Chains A and B, each alone.
Chain A
Amino acid sequence: MSPFSDTAPIPIHPRARSVGSRLLGGPTERSWPPASTDRRTRADLSPLRFPHTILRGDGRITVFRSDQNGLGARHLGIGMSISGGCIALFLLLRLIIQVDPTHLPVLSILAWAILLATAVTVNLRVHKLASRMPPWLFLAALGACAIVVALDLAGTWGAAGAAPFATAAPAVGAFLLSIVTLRETGEITLATGALGLTMVAVTGLQSRDDLLTLGPDILSISLAVAPPLIGASIVQAFRRMVQRELDLVLVQSTVSQPRFAVGMLASEQLARLDLDAETLLDDVAQGRTALPLAASTATTAASLATRLRQHLIAGRTETWLHHALTESEFLGPVVMLRDPAGLAGLLSPPQRDGLLLTIWLLIGDTARAGASVSLSLGPIAPTHGAGAPRALRFPIELTTTGVARRRVDPETWQAIRAVGPHVDSNPGGSLRVDIECSVDNPADA
């Protein structure tokens, strides 16, 4: 019997029990509220550990927003803080070098003191809050930064060239760099923009005899603005990478599925329906619900029966590829699948991995709007005694829009080769690949 046959006996895995009881609250809990179809949202049915991965749209974004430091960003944040520290150190040295012992720049020193105090306080707070920066803390920090900028620019106000250079105000940029992983990049960019505009405005308002004095001001402004902007762009790319990779590994778990399977969401829903039915029947048995039933309870029973019936026949024609595409946030909207015979289910795990990675690389690497992939599997080629007698052959036709052949990652070809021998062409400027797939005949296995 083929390992991917849906009728193969499947041993009861000990985990299956734990999932069920964890999901349903254990054997002691019995009186769950009866099924109410109208109140149930997708979020109620979310799987346990990775709610953001399965629910497209409503779950995922908020999870990432509320947990900016969830994956790797904390480590990255330390690097950004050290980097910002180096820049701040330079600015401090510059203040010390330019300081005139007879005429202390009191306001600038005060600004520096406030900035350092803010940096230390924010750091300790964030550490205490498990690497999170709540909005109030961010706003408070921004307020302190505004004071720093005001004090420093007031302290260095004067005729250009004659007055000392601002140092604490550009150091605010370094501070923004150090918190870039703690907030949305858009917020950091906005704050940086405000800082830059303030400095540009002050530079423009200063009386200037000589245009040459613009040089140090340009240097100061770029020192203030460039680091947080570059940092924000890096962090944004980092977050996007993490999100894509997460999506990929979660979807890759489908390659070990049997030929036909129910998706993760469906199995949770089936468990939920069983529980609702159990509660309803138990209520009837114990006399908590009077017979004959009220119309509303009868309707509930009818809808439960209907949905239970649907779920029991579900999953007989849906393959791993179908689940992978529906569960993926990135692939779902742009990949079209036509596989009426469920042939994707016949592919071996390496072939599946190759096919998934191929689609992934084609969509992910182009990173452009408008790129889409359409997959068509089958029909099964007639065998004329040629080739391996036990093999089943069928074509996979992969057509794309907006994917130029020369932009395709070399790794893609390697992934396609894992699926089978292929011929590629470039009609209309977009890639098309015809793969000749050969799989073990499930009837012979």
Chain B
Amino acid sequence: MQRILKERDRLLRRAAQAAGLTGSATTLACVLVPGGLDADARLWAAALTAIMAAGQYLLGSTGALRWAVVIVLSGTAIILIVGFTSHPGVPPNLIEESVIGLVGTAPICAVAAVLITTARRILFLVASFVFTFSCVAVATGAAPDRLVLLVLTVSIWLAFTIASWWIAQSVPRVMHRISAIGRAHRAERHASELEAQRRQDARLLHDTVLATLTLLAHSGVGVSPIAMQKQAGDDARLLRQLRLGGLPTPYRSGDYSLQPATVLTLGDTLDAVRQRFERMGLTVNWHGSGQVQLSSNVLDAFLLALSECLENVRRHSGVDRADVTITDDDTTVRAMVTDTGVGFDLGRVGSERLGVAESIIARLRDVGGNARLFSSPGAGTTVVLEVPK
């Protein structure tokens, strides 16, 4: 609420400043027309206009009531000086009438913008208007255009006060609408983040999807089209379930459960990986512990690394089976992936494969793990993956 009032007052002060300074500028232009005012009166009127402009500027930057008082007093002083001392005894000439008309309107009524906020200030506003109006009436006693000047004063005061009052009403209205938009947006963000979280939680699903996409990126070479189609169909179905709001987790039975997964047991997920490679023609033999609990991001990195290793075996080793041994102690979970395939010279690894290996190692290191690679031509390959518990 405080912010709203602050913004409202800032806008009103700006309105007061704009209206006041514009009015003072035109007043000064009128005062300076040669032959209009008597020399002394012109000097005084110009000086008072300067004071009034200073008051308007300060009112615009501080909003303090004293500057409004300064404006009203200096403005009415100009009206009275021009009306009574410029050419006493004769009816005011056109310039004098115009100066009175100009000063009585915009420069003084600018205070209305900062005076409509509280009851006390409104009282002061009414007093200022009555005072200004009386001064105009008194100063133009014998003027031929007296009626026009009085109507002008009333109209402009009315117009500016209405405009200011309306601004004061508009700001809280728009602020409330903005905060309603903010609330809606918060709900939107919350929902969108839950959605992202839900999708990120489906990491195992994404792992198999990523593996399949990687296969497709190599045009599906090396896998029978039937197996490829079946794998793609399974993954598409899982993604559709995810899109429709479920959280599919592949299980050993082949069913899918709809539950959030934040801490997963290694055994179940390893089995899904095994099934996937089975389908693509690589038999994976598991050895060792399966009931290891890993936190989600560690498991994520671990499984991705493992899948990539097996994918490398499938594509490059030339054999159709691999052994994975899982061991764990108090602090570490370790997976050893071995194959009896062609192996390769570590010193001459192709740059594209090194890229994959680097991303795997970097990802394991992100969660505090490590990977080591042992191989030589003709002697198979062994990869050791380690992650902290």
Q: Which residues of A contact B (CB under 8 A)?
A: 7-13, 15-21, 24, 27, 47-50, 53, 71-72, 75-76, 78-80, 82-84, 86-87, 89-90, 93-94, 97-98, 161, 211-216, 218-219, 222, 226-227, 229-231, 233-234, 237-238, 241-242, 245-246, 249-250, 252-254, 256-258, 261-262, 264, 266-268, 270-271, 274-275, 277-278, 280-282, 284-287, 291-295, 297-299, 301-302, 304-305, 308-309, 312-313, 315-316, 411
Contact = CB atoms under 8 A, between A and B. Distances in A.
A143 to B, nearest CB: 26
Given A12-B194, A215-B36, A245-B175, A301 B94 contact: no
Interface centre among B102, B170, B363 (most CB of A within 10 A): B170
Given A214-B95, A216-B94, A218-B29, A305 B213 contact: yes
B69 interface: no
Nearest to A273: B199
A304 B167 CA distance: 52
A281 B148 contact: no
B167 A79 contact: yes
B210 A227 contact: no
Interface centre among A10, A48, A245 (most CB of B within 10 A): A245
B33 A215 contact: yes
Interface stretch (B117-125, B233-241, B316-324, B343-351): B233-241
Interface in B164-195: 165-167, 169-171, 173-175, 177-179, 181-182, 184-195
A250 B30 CA distance: 49
Nearest to A293: B219
Given A84-B159, A230-B19, A258-B193, 19 more contacts: A16-B191, A50-B188, A79-B163, A87-B159, A90-B151, A215-B96, A230-B15, A237-B11, A238-B174, A252-B182, A267-B199, A271-B195, A278-B236, A284-B232, A284-B233, A285-B236, A291-B220, A293-B216, A315-B200
**Secondary structure dominating the interface of A:** helix
**Secondary structure dominating the interface of B:** helix
Contact of B156 (A87, A254, A268, A316): A87
A219 B167 contact: no
Contacts, number: 337
B151 to A, nearest CB: 5
Nearest to A234: B15
A354 to B, nearest CB: 14
B85 interface: no
A415 to B, nearest CB: 11
Contact of B97 (A15, A82, A215): A215
A292 B219 contact: yes
A271 B242 CA distance: 10
A89 B162 CA distance: 14
